[in-house]
Amino acid sequence: MNPNKHFYRIDDYSELSLYGKNKRSISLIVLEQDYNLHKELLEKIMGSVQLDMEEDLSLCVISDKNKRVQLKDHEILAKSKHLFLFGIESKTLSCQFEFHNYRPIITEEFIIHPLDLLQDLSSDINKKKILWSYLKKIFK
């Protein structure tokens, strides 16, 4: 092995499960364990802003938070204009910048909306209020 060469480990990609028709070009990205425990909460959140989980949105469930996801490799995600990330870290999406909850990030392809984990929202009324206020601004 040549000591002057540098090798970088590239993480495996996470398996994704995708659901929904995405008619409004909005994708929700959640971790599998968080989604499985709080599916009903997510449905209520989206219903509160008159979005139908099956028709209006796409739901992307990430099986392993320690692996990366390539958004453009998935047609339904690549067509989305808004990505709502429930507890997803920037490294999971291979982004070179940090996410800060409730501070949208505008890229050439998407508007990224970093949000709290569903678990945190389920147990913290103040975080629910912050989320509700944020969603009202977006879905006026």
Q: What is the pLDDT of residues 18-75, one digit of tens each?
A: 899 999 999 999 999 999 999 999 999 999 999 999 999 999 999 887 777 877 777 8
71-108: pLDDT as tens digits: 777 787 878 999 999 999 988 887 888 999 999 999 88
Give the CB-side neighbour count of residue 60, counting CA atoms within 13 A. 32
Of 66 and 115, the one with more pLDDT? 115
In this prediction, residue 65 carries a pLDDT of 76
DSSP 8-class letter at 15: P
Nearest residue to 60 (alpha-carbon basis) of 49, 50, 103, 82: 82
In this prediction, residue 5 carries a pLDDT of 52
Q: Is the pLDDT of residue 7 over 70?
A: no
Of 3 and 71, the one with more pLDDT? 71
What's the whole-model pTM score? 0.87
Give the integer Cα–Cα distance in Å for 4 and 93.
30
In this prediction, residue 67 carries a pLDDT of 76
Give the integer Cα–Cα distance in Å for 112 and 27.
10
Mean pLDDT of 119-138: 96
Give the integer Cα–Cα distance in Å for 140 and 5.
53
In this prediction, residue 138 carries a pLDDT of 93
In this prediction, residue 10 carries a pLDDT of 53
In this prediction, residue 17 carries a pLDDT of 85
